[in-house]
Each structure stands twice: as structure tokens, then as C-alpha cells.
């Protein structure tokens, strides 16, 4: 089957769906611009990561069941999130194990390998690095831990960013160090989380970048929340929004990072 | 005969000792984060050692194969642990040593105390050993009037400073050289206040102090890095040579060894003696590797004992996912790369085993009820797993233990706020209509908190912990799915 005949589903992730819909819209526009049709199954909700990583494994079973039910008919499932894809690929099998349901185990084994993080999908499956994007800003890229160490996306996001016209891509010092988000860690261990954030923010500001990007809005919400609190003058933008941006359609509006109504 | 490490009818017993403090990690961490001197010391030390490790690991083309071998040998060891322990006992005994079995810290302390008392000595010298710190042996000996002198330089600094170790390899990593100078001047007999903080001068002062102890000591106490089942051999790996002094000069040598320290054969050491120094000190080879098999007339100690300690290890072995932690060779590479450890230091963990490995090992040894906050002392960034020389999947075990913490609270009459929130979210995610209604509510709620701004500066508890230092985004009025429906209509599910 050719790459252009793939039946592609968008796994938006509950977090992007609710808090960062622009990232989802950008993902759809990008894939359509590359000539693909994307379906959005409305029955999708959450992959279970929040429950699983906090210790509520039993509560994940129905979520994993829903996930495979919704996505098992597709050739490829694409998500603009490294950590949610990491959850599906690395831990859905564990949840299925906990459930003791051999049917669920088999369904997970079939579905999970077809779930791709956006940069992996573009580079590995669609075999493109130049997606025709234009983004005239100074940008630094933070490789989120789950993209880096669970999915091993490696250089793929950077290869995509390097091909963007007009971009001034600058290397982030200490890039591979965790930003301190860590899901419920950011609240349960808020002091340590913020201590980690302080160093990430320092590194981001050292680059002189206008935009810090990544493949996960959860980490960006943390880094961006810190930058915004400091009125640092640097904003966070998801990778999908940069890649979706073109000369004729600037997807990502240049918002005032300090907000309008302080 | 006690079949340690073998499943039996009784539930495996948990361990005791320096494994839990009772202070929740977030509280202890908050205090530690405010210690700017310690933050600076830790940042400098962990950055240096991380760099050294990365350089020497990169030299080996077969590093990944070595890691896999290190993991596989330990897995096989654990699978055959009862038989290998008996084999070790047989060989060690045949070579003239005496084997003792200790179910827990209490038994181990009693055995060692009895052995030292039998010699009539009031002072013993110690080789750096995690397990003796785990069982709080020094304190037990002190209670019966026996002074245990730490001879590892960093352990000596901790002991003289009336402090606790904060790192597996470098127990005094939280101290810098001027702080060490101060400890030596106030606590070390015969040191004058003219002592400088030059590392060489500090080392020479410790050397003078320890030389006397080595030459007079009749009893030494050690742990072991490895115990070879096939030959009944114990192995200690170190840098300073002080361990070698303790292992060769005294008449009596007592080694306390966790039952997971076994390797099946002598040849297996080849793997670990490459993995350990590169991972721990960032050296190609450590300066001193001492191996001894029983007792030999006129060559080293003549009265040689080993205490094989369980202290919760059988309980860890019984845990299918957690048991991989018993492969740990105490290199501390995971501490040095951990962004949490680097900032909080070791004391915040309340256990002799801090950092990522401590966050899994301590709660498993004690049972999670005694250590419920440690499995959450991680952002699950996974840096620890990447550097582990025996490939312990620490994030996997952390999440597994979080499950145990949650399960241990399920039966309670009054559910926790977190339980209620998780239940509510599970209920919402179970139905797309409910989920969409919740999205709309979140949008409305967020607008009422944001008061027209596009960022939220203060959220109510428990989310106030987020906005203590970070702005929060507002939830837009239109979700992605609402946008899709408005612009494209709702497609039939496949």
C-alpha cells in the first residue's frame, strides 16, 4: 500500500483537544497540505496516561479498551504528543496484562505499533523532512523526555525544523535535561518541579529565542507558564504549529505572551 | 536451614533500618532545595561525574552488549538464588570461613555484635559499605561500647560531621572542601586549625588519622560488591586502598552481604568489573579490587565471617516487576543524572539509598506503606534507565510502585481527594458525551477564573501548587472536537 493511500486517524489527545485545540488544527492542516486525508474518530477520549502514571492502573483498563476499539481499523494513528504516544506504545500492553483479558492483549499488540508521534510519522512513514513550512522567528527546540527516551525520536524534529524557511533555529543548552513537568509531579512535588523549571527557563532565555518549541504541549505549558509568569518575552509553540505555518497561512498567531488583560 | 530468597508459605518479610524517615519527600525536598550551598556542591559534583562517565562509556564499542550481559547474569542469579546461596555457603565454609544468615537488620546487628564482642575488642575499622549503613550497624555497636571507625574518606567525613550519607558512592557529596576542612579541624583529633582546604592536605590529615587505626585494629567490618557462588569468593571494589588495609591487616574480618550480591561464577566478574567503575567513578578501572576466599594461615585475617542478609530482599524478589531492582550494583550513575537528586540531594529521600534507585528500592524493602511518597519523587524523565549499567527500568518500577501505593489506600472508608478526582475523570473519559460536557464546563470555569485574561495567575487548591510559580493557560471556549464538528461535521466512527 502506498503512503498516499494510508487511512490515517488523528489521535488528538484529551489535553490538546481541551486546552490546545490550535495544535490539533495545525496537525490536520499540515497533513492535508501534504496530500493526506485525516479522519477524526469522535469516540476517542484519553489514552490513560494520567491515571497510569499516578498509580491508578485498574482505572486505565476501560480507557485502553476504548482506545483500541476506536483506532484499530486504521493504517496509521497520528498524535501531536510524544508522551501520549509513549503511553500507548510502551504501557498499553502492561495495562492489558493487568486486565487479564487476552483479547485486549491481542488488540493492543495490533494497534499500539501503528500509533505515531507527529515527527516520527512525517519522517519515518511519510518520508518527508521539508514540509513546505515558513516561520520567520528565532526558535529553540526542547526535546521532551518521552519523545527523547521513550520514543527515541532523536533528530527527527530538528530535521523537520531545519527545513523550515525563514526560521532561525538555535540550539538549547542542556536540552536533554527534563523541564520538571512530569504530569502530577508538577503539583505533587511542585517545589522540585519549579527548581528544574528554573534551569530550563534559564537555558531557553540564554538562546535569545523568541519561541521555544517541543512535541508536547504538556511540557510546553510548564515551560511557557514559567516564562509567562516571569514576563520573559519568550513564548512556547507546539512543533505542529510551526510546521503548519506557511507564507500564505500563518497558522500560529503571534499572541502577546504577557497577555492582554493583566 | 533457612531457604532465603525462596518463596515459602510465609509472606516475605519487609526490611528495617535506614530505609525510611517518616518525612514525606515533598516536605524534605522543599527544605533541601533552599540550601544554596548544597545546591552548588551537588550541581558541581554531579555535572563533573556525569561528564567523566559519559566519556569512558563512549570509549567502549560493546557497552550496550555489556549492559545486556550485566542484566542477564543478574536475572539468572535471581532465578536460581536459593541454590546459588547454598553453593556460596558450601564453598566459603570449605575455604575456612563461617557463614551466618540474617533475616533482617535486627538479626544481622545481633550476629555482628556477638562476633565483635567475642574478640574482646572495643574498636573496629570499617570498609565503606552501604549495607552496614542500611542496617545502622555503627549505632548498634556504639550502644554496646564498640567504636566503629569509617575508613573511606567520604564516610569518615560524614561520621566526623555527625551527618548521614547522601550519595551511594560519594557519601559526603553534599559537602565542599571548605566545609570538610571545618569538620576536620573541629572533629579530628590532632588536627590544627592551620589546615588548609587543599584536597591534598585534607587527604593527608585523614591518612595520618587512619594509619594509626589500621595498624592497631584487630577487627574489620566490610560489605561486598560481589560474592561468587562457585568459588565462595567475596569482592570489594574501591578507589582509596583503605578498604584493602582493612581487608588484610586485622585478625578478624566480618562481611555483611545482601543476598542479591551473588554472581554465579568467577568469569561473571569480568562483566561487572567493566560496568561498575565506568558507571560509578567514571574510571576505566578502579584502583583497588580485593578478592578473598575464606581464611589462610599467615595471609590476611585468620577468622573470616560472612553474614548473608535478607532484610526485605525476598519481598522484592517476590515482586515480578520490582525484582529487577535487585540487579543493582550500587554504581550511583542514576543519582548523578537525576534532575531531582541533583537539586534535592540524598537526605531528602530519608533512606541510605537515595536518588532513582532509592526511590524504588527503599519502598520495596520497607513495603510502600512505610515509604509512600518516594515512588512519586520522579518526573519519570527516564535518564536513570538510560545510564543504568544493568538496565533496571526504573520508571517502569516507579509507576508499578505508585500502583501499590494507590491500591494500599483503596479499602479506606473515606476516599482521598485524589481518588475522587481520578474516579471522576475515569467516569468522564468513559463516555464521549460526558467528556465533551466536561470540556465545556472547563471552558466556562476557566473563563470565570481568568477574568478576561488569556492566562491564569492563581488557581484554587490543589492546583494552586501549579500557579505558585507558573501561569496556567485558559481553556478555550471551543475544543478541537467542537471545531471539527462545526467546520467538517461529525464523521461516522469506523
State pLDDT tens for residues B234-283.
Answer: 999 999 999 999 999 999 999 999 999 999 999 999 999 999 999 999 99
- Residue ranges per structural domain of chain A: 3-125, 138-244
pLDDT at A202 over 50: yes
- Which residues on A lie below 8 Å from B343 (Cβ)? 192, 195-196
Residues whose CB falls within 8 Å of the CB of residue B402, separated by 6 or more in sequence, listed in order? A53, A54, A55, B375, B376
Sign of torsion, CA B29 B33 B35 B40?
positive
The per-residue pLDDT for B3 is 46
Q: What is the DSSP string of A56-125?
A: -HHHHHHHHHHHHHHHTT-SEEEES-HHHHHIIIIIHHHHHHHHT-HHHHHHHHHHGGGEEEHHHIIIII
pLDDT at A146 over 70: yes
Residue in B205, B202, B234 with CA at minimum distance from that of residue B221? B234
Residue in B48, B59, B56, B71 with CA at minimum distance from that of residue B278? B56
Beta carbons of B455 and A228 less than 8 Å apart:
yes
Give which of A151, A191, A240, A256 to mutate to test B binding, by max B Cβ within 10 Å. A191
DSSP 3-state assignment of B174? Answer: coil
pLDDT at A260 over 50: no
Sign of torsion, CA B291 B243 B96 B250?
positive
Model confidence at B491, pLDDT cuts 50, 70, 90, reads low
Cβ of B33 under 8 Å from any chain A Cβ? yes
State pLDDT tens for residues B114-139.
Answer: 999 999 999 999 999 999 999 999 99
Beta carbons of B399 and A16 less than 8 Å apart:
no
- Which residues on B lie below 8 Å from A260 (Cβ)? 453-454
State pLDDT tens for residues B200-222.
Answer: 999 999 999 999 899 999 999 99
pLDDT at A258 over 50: no
Give which of A21, A197, A258 to mutate to test B binding, by max B Cβ within 10 Å. A21
**B76-B226-B377-B427 Cα dihedral, nearest 10 degrees:** 10
Size of interface A-B (CB pairs under 8 A): 206
- Which residues on B lie below 8 Å from A46 (Cβ)? 425, 429, 435
Beta carbons of B453 and A52 less than 8 Å apart:
no
Element of type H or E holding B296: none
Strands across the sheet containing A235-238:
A168-170, A138-141, A211-214, A235-238
The per-residue pLDDT for A100 is 94
Q: What is the rounded CA–CA span in Å between residue A39 and residue B59?
A: 48
Model confidence at A86, pLDDT cuts 50, 70, 90, reads very high
Q: Are B471 and B457 in contact (CB under 8 A)?
A: yes
- Which residues on B lie below 8 Å from A228 (Cβ)? 455, 470-471
Compare CB distances from B376 to A14, A149, A188 and report the shortest one's residue.
A188
Residue in B103, B100, B125 with CA at minimum distance from that of residue B111? B100
- Indicate left, alpha or beta for B306 from its phi (over 0: left) and psi (-120 to 50: alpha): beta
- Which residues on A lie below 8 Å from B494 (Cβ)? 9, 39, 41, 73-74
The per-residue pLDDT for B192 is 86
Residue B7 vs residue B163, higher pLDDT:
B163
DSSP code for B327: G
The per-residue pLDDT for A2 is 55
Element of type H or E holding B265: none
State pLDDT tens for residues B8-51.
Answer: 456 678 999 999 999 999 999 999 999 999 999 999 999 999 99
The 10 Å Cβ neighbour count of residue B421 is 15
The per-residue pLDDT for A252 is 56
Q: What is the rounded CA–CA span in Å between residue B23 and residue B3?
A: 35
pLDDT at B379 over 90: yes
Burial pattern A141-166, b for ≥16 Cβ within 10 A else e, equals: bbbbbbbbbbbebeebbbebbeebee
Q: How many angstroms separate the Cα of B459 from the Cα of each of B63, B396, B453?
A: 48, 31, 13
Which residues between 263 and 322 in chain B have a beta carbon less than 8 angstroms from any beta carbon of chain A? none
Write down the CATH number for the domain with range A138-244: 3.40.50
Compare all CA atoms of chain B with the CA of A50 and give the residue at the minimum distance. B422
Which residues between 428 and 447 in chain B have a beta carbon less than 8 angstroms from any beta carbon of chain A? 428-432, 435, 439, 442
Residue in B372, B403, B420, B321 with CA at minimum distance from that of residue A56? B403
Q: Which of B236-250, B276-290, B352-366, B444-458 has the lowest mean pLDDT?
A: B444-458
pLDDT at B2 over 60: no
State pLDDT tens for residues A72-83.
Answer: 999 999 999 999
Peptide bond into B462 cis (omega under 30): yes
Please give the mean pLDDT across all residues of chain B: 94
Q: Are B277 and B286 in contact (CB under 8 A)?
A: yes
Model confidence at A251, pLDDT cuts 50, 70, 90, reads low
Q: Cell 569480568 belongs to which residue?
A: B270
The per-residue pLDDT for A1 is 47
Report residue B335 as a C-alpha cell. Answer: 543519582
Q: Cell 507558564 belongs to which residue?
A: A225
Share of chain B above pLDDT 70, in %: 97
pLDDT at A219 over 50: yes
Q: Are B97 and B295 in contact (CB under 8 A)?
A: yes
Give the gap in angstroms from C-alpha A122 to the nearest C-alpha of chain B.
Answer: 21
Q: What is the rounded CA–CA span in Å between residue B351 and residue B364?
A: 12
Report residue B19 as a C-alpha cell. Answer: 530505609
The per-residue pLDDT for B448 is 87
- Which residues on A lie below 8 Å from B422 (Cβ)? 51, 54, 56, 59
Q: What is the rounded CA–CA span in Å between residue A252 and residue A246?
A: 10
Q: Which of A232-241, A243-252, B224-233 has the lowest mean pLDDT?
A: A243-252
The per-residue pLDDT for B447 is 87
The per-residue pLDDT for A5 is 77
Yes or no: domain B36-314 corresponds to CATH 3.40.50.10420: yes
Share of chain A above pLDDT 70, in %: 94
The per-residue pLDDT for B9 is 52
List, in sequence order, every beta strand (DSSP E) within A98-239.
Answer: 115-117, 138-141, 168-170, 211-214, 235-238
The residues with which B100 forms a beta bridge, in sequence order, are B307
Q: Are A125 and A4 in contact (CB under 8 A)?
A: no
Q: Cell 574482646 belongs to which residue?
A: B120
pTM of the predicted model as reported, rounded to 2 decimal places? 0.95
pLDDT at A218 over 70: yes
Q: Are B168 and B355 in contact (CB under 8 A)?
A: yes
Q: Cell 490539533 belongs to which residue?
A: A24
Give which of B355, B378, B380, B435 to mutate to test A binding, by max A Cβ within 10 Å. B380
Q: What is the rounded CA–CA span in Å between residue B247 and residue B241?
A: 10
Choices 3.90.1310.10, 1.20.1050.140, 2.130.10.10, 1.20.140.10: CATH for A3-125: 1.20.1050.140
Q: Given this chain, do its domains A3-125 and A138-244 carry the same CATH topology?
A: no
Model confidence at A8, pLDDT cuts 50, 70, 90, reads very high
Share of chain B above pLDDT 90, in %: 90
- Residue ranges per structural domain of chain B: 36-314, 418-488
The per-residue pLDDT for B490 is 82
Give which of B373, B399, B471, B491 to mutate to test A binding, by max A Cβ within 10 Å. B471
Distance of CA A209 to the CA centre of its chain: 20
- Which residues on A lie below 8 Å from B472 (Cβ)? 221, 225
The per-residue pLDDT for B411 is 86
- Which residues on A lie below 8 Å from B479 (Cβ)? 17-18, 21
Give which of B322, B404, B426 to mutate to test A binding, by max A Cβ within 10 Å. B426
DSSP code for B493: P
pLDDT at A261 over 90: no
Amino acid at each position: 500500500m502506498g503512503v498516499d493511500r494510508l487511512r490515517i486517524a488523528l489521535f488528538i489527545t484529551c489535553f490538546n483537544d481541551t486546552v490546545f485545540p490550535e495544535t490539533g488544527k495545525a496537525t490536520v492542516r499540515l497533513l492535508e497540505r501534504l496530500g493526506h486525508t485525516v479522519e477524526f474518530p469522535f469516540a476517542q477520549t484519553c489514552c490513560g496516561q494520567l491515571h497510569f502514571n499516578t498509580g491508578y492502573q485498574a482505572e486505565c483498563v476501560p480507557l485502553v479498551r476504548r482506545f483500541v476499539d476506536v483506532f484499530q481499523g486504521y493504517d496509521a494513528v497520528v498524535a501531536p504528543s510524544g508522551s501520549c504516544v509513549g503511553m500507548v506504545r510502551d504501557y498499553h500492553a502492561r495495562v492489558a496484562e493487568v486486565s487479564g483479558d487476552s483479547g485486549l492483549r491481542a488488540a493492543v499488540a495490533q494497534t499500539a505499533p501503528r500509533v505515531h508521534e507527529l515527527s516520527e510519522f512525517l519522517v519515518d512513514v511519510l518520508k518527508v523532512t521539508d514540509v513546505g513550512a515558513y516561520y520567520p522567528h528565532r526558535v529553540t527546540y526542547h526535546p521532551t523526555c518521552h519523545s527523547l527516551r521513550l520514543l527515541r525520536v532523536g533528530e527527527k524534529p530538528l530535521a523537520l525544523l531545519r527545513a523550515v524557511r525563514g526560521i532561525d533555529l538555535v540550539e538549547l543548552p542542556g536540552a536533554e535535561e527534563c523541564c520538571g513537568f512530569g504530569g502530577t509531579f508538577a503539583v505533587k512535588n511542585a517545589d522540585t518541579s519549579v527548581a528544574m523549571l528554573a534551569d530550563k527557563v534559564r537555558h531557553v532565555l540564554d538562546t535569545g529565542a523568541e519561541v521555544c518549541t517541543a512535541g508536547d504541549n504538556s511540557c510546553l505549558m510548564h515551560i511557557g507558564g514559567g516564562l509567562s509568569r516571569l514576563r520573559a518575552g519568550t513564548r512556547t509553540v507546539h512543533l505542529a504549529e510551526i510546521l503548519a505555518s506557511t507564507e500564505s497561512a500563518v497558522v500560529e498567531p503571534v499572541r502577546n505572551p504577557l497577555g492582554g488583560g493583566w | 536451614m533457612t531457604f532465603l530468597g525462596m518463596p515459602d508459605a510465609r509472606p516475605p518479610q519487609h526490611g528495617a533500618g535506614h530505609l525510611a524517615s517518616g518525612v514525606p519527600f515533598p516536605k524534605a525536598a522543599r527544605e533541601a532545595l533552599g540550601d544554596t550551598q548544597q545546591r552548588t556542591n551537588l550541581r558541581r559534583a554531579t555535572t563533573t561525574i556525569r561528564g567523566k562517565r559519559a566519556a569512558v562509556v563512549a570509549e567502549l564499542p560493546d557497552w550496550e552488549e555489556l549492559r545486556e550481559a550485566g542484566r542477564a547474569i543478574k536475572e539468572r542469579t535471581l532465578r536460581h538464588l536459593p541454590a546459588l546461596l547454598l553453593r556460596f555457603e558450601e564453598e566459603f565454609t570449605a575455604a575456612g570461613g563461617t557463614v551466618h544468615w540474617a533475616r533482617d537488620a535486627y538479626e544481622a546487628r545481633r550476629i555482628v555484635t556477638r562476633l565483635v564482642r567475642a574478640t574482646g575488642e572495643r574498636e573496629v575499622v570499617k570498609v565503606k559499605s552501604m549495607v552496614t549503613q542500611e542496617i545502622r550497624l555503627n549505632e548498634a555497636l556504639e550502644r554496646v561500647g564498640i567504636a566503629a571507625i569509617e575508613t573511606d574518606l567520604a564516610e569518615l567525613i560524614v561520621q566526623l560531621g555527625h551527618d548521614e550519607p547522601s550519595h551511594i558512592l560519594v557519601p559526603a557529596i553534599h559537602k565542599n572542601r571548605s566545609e570538610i576542612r571545618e569538620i576536620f579541624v573541629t572533629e579530628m583529633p590532632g588536627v590544627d586549625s592551620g589546615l588548609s582546604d587543599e584536597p591534598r592536605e585534607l587527604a593527608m590529615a585523614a591518612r595520618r588519622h587512619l594509619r594509626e587505626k589500621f595498624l592497631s585494629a584487630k577487627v574489620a567490618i566490610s560489605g561486598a560488591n560481589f560474592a561468587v557462588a562457585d568459588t565462595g569468593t567475596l569482592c570489594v571494589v574501591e578507589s582509596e586502598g583503605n578498604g584493602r588495609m582493612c581487608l588484610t591487616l586485622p585478625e578478624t574480618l566480618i562481611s555483611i552481604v545482601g543476598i542479591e550480591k551473588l554472581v554465579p561464577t568467577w568469569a561473571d566478574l569480568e562483566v561487572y568489573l567493566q560496568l561498575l567503575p565506568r558507571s560509578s567513578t567514571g574510571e576505566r578501572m578502579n584502583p583497588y579490587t580485593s578478592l578473598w576466599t575464606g581464611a589462610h594461615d599467615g595471609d590476611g585475617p585468620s577468622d573470616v565471617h560472612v553474614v548473608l542478609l535478607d532484610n526485605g530482599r525476598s519481598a522484592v524478589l517476590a515482586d515480578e516487576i520490582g525484582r529487577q531492582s535487585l540487579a543493582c550494583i550500587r554504581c550511583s550513575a542514576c543519582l548523578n543524572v537525576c534532575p531531582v537528586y541533583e537539586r534535592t540531594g540524598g537526605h531528602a529521600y530519608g533512606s541510605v539509598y537515595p536518588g532513582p534507585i532509592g526511590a524504588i528500592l527503599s519502598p520495596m524493602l520497607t513495603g510502600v506503606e512505610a515509604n509512600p511518597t518516594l515512588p512519586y519523587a520522579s518526573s519519570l524523565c527516564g535518564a536513570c534507565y538510560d545510564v543504568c549499567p544493568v538496565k533496571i527500568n526504573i520508571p517502569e518500577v516507579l509507576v508499578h510502585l505508585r500502583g501499590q501505593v494507590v491500591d494500599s489506600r483503596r479499602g479506606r472508608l473515606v476516599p482521598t481527594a485524589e481518588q475522587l478526582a481520578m474516579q471522576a475523570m475515569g467516569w468522564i473519559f468513559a463516555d464521549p458525551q460526558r467528556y465533551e460536557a466536561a470540556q465545556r464546563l472547563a471552558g466556562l470555569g476557566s473563563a470565570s477564573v481568568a477574568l478576561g485574561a488569556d492566562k491564569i495567575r492563581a488557581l484554587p487548591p490543589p492546583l494552586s501548587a501549579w500557579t505558585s510559580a507558573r501561569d496556567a493557560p485558559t481553556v478555550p471556549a471551543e475544543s478541537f472536537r467542537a471545531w471539527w464538528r462545526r467546520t467538517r461535521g461529525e464523521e461516522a466512527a469506523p
